[in-house]
Every structure is written in C-alpha cells, then in structure tokens.
Amino acid sequence: MRTSHALADAPPPLPEGPSSAGGHPAPAAPGVRTRSQHQRRRRIVQAAAALASRGGVEAMQMRTVAERAGVALGTLYRYFPSKMDLVVAVVGEEIDLLESSIERRPPQAANPAGRAVDVLMRATRGLMREPELADALIRSLIMAEVEAPFGDRMASLLLRVATEGRTVSLPPEDQLALTGSLAGVWVQELLEMLRGRRTYEQIQHRIEIAADRLLAGF
C-alpha cells in the first residue's frame, strides 16, 4: 500500500471552526461542517501514520497525535475513543490508497489467481517502503480488541479483482471465505518477512501457490 502520510509532514492546522463575538462556536452550514470534519479526521489519521512510521504504535500517543494534527485532545477522542480505533483508521486509509491505485492501474493477469497475486504483491511493495509502520499496524490488528474491518475489506477487494464482475458458480459466502483465506495467508507471510524470515521472492512464490489453490473455482 502506498503511504503518503509518513513521507511528508502533516498539513498545517486548520481552525477548529469560526467563532462568534462571544467566543462560542458559530453555527456552520451542514455542508461546510461535514467538509471540515472530514478534513480534521483525515489530518488526525495522517498525523498518526507519520508518527507510527517513525516509532511504531508506541509513538502514537494520543496527545502527540493531537498536537501534530493541530486539534484539541478532546476533539481527537471524539473522533477516536482509543488508540486502537486510530490504528484501525490508519489501516483503512491505507486500503483506500490501495483501492485507488488499483482503479488507476487494474491488474492485467489473465486469470483470477494472477490478478489477486498482483494486488497482494503491490500492497507488499508499498508496505515494505514503510516497514516500521507496516509491522506496527499488522501486529496491532492481530492483537486488536476492537472490530477491525481489515480482513473483510481485503477479502472484498480480492474478490472484485478476481471475478472482474463475472458471475461465479460458487455461493457468495464461499467466494468471500476463499478470498479471505488468501488475505489471511498474505498477512502471515508479511509478518514473516517483517521478522526477516522471508524474502519478497519467497512471499510471492507462496502467495502464488495459495492463490492457485484457493481461487481455482473462480
């Protein structure tokens, strides 16, 4: 996954919102408020990713994230009640970037397994450019005590690229189970590489074998 946040400083702080003469927040049009909230949330996630890329999840102290994002600590907790919620948001942002990359450059392989491998190895290359961030996020998600949609989103993404919108004879729940299993294999192989036990080439070989077996019915 391509991580833009960790490669550049966070954007300059945006104001928390306009104030009236009495010092209280002035009412804002719904559209403006929504846009402002979206920008603020994105800035928080970018700040968290930048900190994690330098020092792992331990560096994602909530007060430090708030200061880097230019928001009040209470504002940060309204968006993300815990650090793990923030970790999940960073992972979601990374998947968004991966999906955008795939939309711009769809996999060109001729078969479902090849297209799925293309996506997973593209994600691997992106994560390896930020190994400390990758290690922190994946380990945190494995130990997460909150619901993390990472596996479901990766399974859905692999299903889309594997089928390319074609009808598959397998039941829908089986299709997602198979692509989810492939995503699970990828996460475990990625952890092995982060520990220094796998090379990129070894991971690709293992993912190719798993994809050929798991997606044979596609």
Which pLDDT score, from 0 to 100, does residue 145 have? 57
In a domain, 1, yes or no: no
Q: Which residue matches tokens 């859905």? A: 156
Residue 134 lies in a domain: yes
**Residue 62, in any domain of the structure:** no
The number of helices, as runs of H, and strands, as runs of E, in the chain is 9, 0
Can you give the pLDDT at residue 110? 93
Helix, strand or coil, per DSSP, at residue 46: helix
Question: Using an 8 Å Cβ cutoff, are 115 and 164 in contact?
Answer: yes
Burial label, 105 (beta-carbon count in 10 A; 0-12, 13-18, 19+): exposed
For 2-39, letters b (16+ CB in 10 Å) and e give: bbebbeeebeeeeeeeeeeeeeeeeeeeeeeeeebeee
Q: How far apart are CA 107 and CA 134, in angstroms?
A: 23
pLDDT value for 33: 58
Distance, in Å, from the CA atom of 117 to the CA atom of 2, rounded to the nearest integer, reads 17
Tokens at 112, concatenated? 């479902």
Residue type (1 letter), 169: S
pLDDT number for residue 152: 84
Task: Identify the CATH number of the domain in which residue 105 sits.
Answer: 1.10.357.10
Q: State the total domains in the chain.
A: 1
Whether 24 is covered by a domain: the verdict is no
Distance CA 118, CA 112 (A): 10
In a domain, 74, yes or no: no
Q: What does 110-133 look like in DSSP terms, one character per residue? A: SSHHHHHHHHHHHHHHHHHTSHHH
Six-digit token pair at 168? Answer: 């598959």
Whether 66 maps to a domain, the answer reads no
Q: 117 near 109, Cβ under 8 Å?
A: yes
The answer to whether position 17 is within a domain reads no
**Which pLDDT score is estimated for 23?**
40
Burial of 53 (0-12, 13-18, 19+ CB in 10 A): buried
Residue 211 lies in a domain: yes
Domain limits at 173?
A: 83-215
Segments of the chain with pLDDT less than 70? 1-33, 140-141, 143-148
Q: Can you give the pLDDT at residue 211?
A: 98
- What is the rounded distance in angstroms from the CA atom of residue 134 to the CA atom of residue 130? 6
State pTM to two decimals.
0.75
pLDDT value at position 141? 66
